[in-house]
Amino acid sequence: MNQPNPLWTKMNRKSLVRITALLLAMGFLAVLAYIGKDMRLNSNPAKSSNFLERESDYYIPDKIVGHIHRPYAVRTFDWKEHEKGRLVFRTNNLGFREDHDTEQGKPLESIRVLVTGDSHIDGVLYNSESFPNLLETDLNSRFPPHKFEVINGGTGYYGPHNYARFLDKYLSLKPDIFVVVIYAGNDFLDAGRFLEAQSDYLVKRPKDYYKLLHGCCQGFPGVGGQVFNQIHYLKTFPHMQGKVVGFTNSQLAQIHEICLRNGIELFVVLLPTKADVEWQTDRVRLEKARVLLGWTLEDLHLNQRLSQQVAGWLKQKAIKYIDVYAKMTQTPAELFWRYDYHLNNKGHAFLAKILAPSLQPYLETLIAKEG
């Protein structure tokens, strides 16, 4: 038998690896396109389209994560609820929501915290008002002369399927701590749609599925994408509830493994919805929508119940986390915008205030290791 040419075999292997990587990337982008047709920001399916096309000024495809922010993007628009009456979004050289560029190499004698999450962490506010930026200021005042850098990698349209890939992409930044924010209002829906796009758990929407949702959310842009859409999905397809929680946990387990291999501390934040913690601030509209959908008061707690299941899993696995639900309900200030139900500037300030002492024991350990 003729022996194979070693050079030819090596070339074939390299080609196979490249082709496999390309196919995986293409498949992931196809899944992303499917998920991009959701209704998180636009509850009218006739107007829904692939957000990478619709919002190409702000997002670009990425073969690892699926999508990231466009570097040096700028968005300016009116926002009546903000004291300035307008908002400006800016991204830096790596597409992070930072006003200053992020160095590829970690600065000497610094501790780097990398944060990710969905549009709530991306932030409907100025960069300086985001919780990662406020947390950075707080930590630098707590531990002088040590230098802390907290990077805001939150990105709109992210869900559980993006978070591990995000960490993979930015491991070269050598973060000491990785903070993942799981949003109870639509991260489980993102998990469901990802599973559907994989053809593992295809579910067929009833004819009136979107009609019911659009009817209750007409002129009410926040509640659909940020609260009710997910409840509607998981009430219509209750068999998906366990699957989306399981998938979310599997992604967190993957992140945990990456962190262990790379000496990174993992910290998970469980973020509730405005409807869970501030129902009374928008009670009339929320109650009207609930009645139109034929839901019970118990149905409204579905998002939070799933979040608590994730909390139980994190506790069982001894993964550090904080569920801010209880403390948010005790806060008199409104922490979410009324217009679109995203965290507002007070909500981000609240998170920074809560997280600083929560992270302190782990930061003290890191400081001690660095001598």
**CATH number of the domain that residue 205 is part of:** 3.40.50.1110
**Is 49 a residue whose pLDDT tops 70?**
no
pLDDT of residue 285: 86
| Predicted confidence band of residue 269 (pLDDT cuts 50, 70, 90) | very high
- Distance, CA of 26 to CA of 230 (rounded, Å): 27
| Predicted confidence band of residue 174 (pLDDT cuts 50, 70, 90) | very high
| Predicted confidence band of residue 227 (pLDDT cuts 50, 70, 90) | very high
| Predicted confidence band of residue 200 (pLDDT cuts 50, 70, 90) | low
Q: Which residues pair with 244 in a beta bridge?
A: none
pLDDT tens-place string over residues 124-168: 999 999 999 999 999 999 888 889 999 999 999 999 999 999 999
Phi then psi dihedrals of residue 317, to 5 deg: -90, 0
- The C-alpha R_g of the chain, in whole angstroms, comes to 21
Are 215 and 209 in contact by the 8 Å Cβ rule? The answer is no
Q: Confirm whether 154 is domain-assigned.
A: yes
Pick the closest to residue 40 from 52, 30, 32, 48 (CA basis). Answer: 48
Are 182 and 164 in contact by the 8 Å Cβ rule? The answer is no
Paired sense of beta strands 86-90 and 177-183, if any:
unpaired
**Is 18 a residue whose pLDDT tops 90?**
no
CA distances from 171 to 104, 165, 259, 295 (A): 10, 10, 9, 44
Mean pLDDT for the stretch of residues 199-205: 75
Report angle CA 325, 326, 329 to the nearest 5 degrees.
85
**Is 35 a residue whose pLDDT tops 90?**
no
Mean pLDDT for the stretch of residues 90-112: 95
Q: Confirm whether 346 is domain-assigned.
A: yes
Share of the chain above pLDDT 90, in %: 69
Q: What residue type is 226 in one-letter code?
A: Q
Q: Confirm whether 175 is domain-assigned.
A: yes
Q: Confirm whether 285 is domain-assigned.
A: yes
Q: Confirm whether 219 is domain-assigned.
A: yes
Q: How many domains does the chain have?
A: 1
pLDDT of residue 201: 64
DSSP label at residue 88: E
Show the beta-strand stretches assigned E in 162-302: 177-183, 265-271
Structural domain that includes position 355: 6-369
Q: Which residues pair with 150 in a beta bridge?
A: 113
Q: Please give the structure tokens belonging to residue 323.
A: 């569920």
Paired sense of beta strands 74-78 and 86-90, if any:
antiparallel
Q: Confirm whether 1 is domain-assigned.
A: no
**Is 315 a residue whose pLDDT tops 50?**
yes
pLDDT tens-place string over residues 330-371: 999 999 999 999 999 999 999 999 999 999 888 888 888 776
Cβ burial of 294 (10 Å; 0-12, 13-18, 19+) is exposed
**Is 27 a residue whose pLDDT tops 70?**
no
Q: Confirm whether 16 is domain-assigned.
A: yes
**Is 204 a residue whose pLDDT tops 90?**
no
Mean pLDDT for the stretch of residues 2-17: 39
Pick the closest to residue 35 from 268, 254, 307, 229 (CA basis). Answer: 229
The more confidently predicted of residues 38 and 322 is: 322
Cβ burial of 167 (10 Å; 0-12, 13-18, 19+) is buried
Q: Confirm whether 278 is domain-assigned.
A: yes
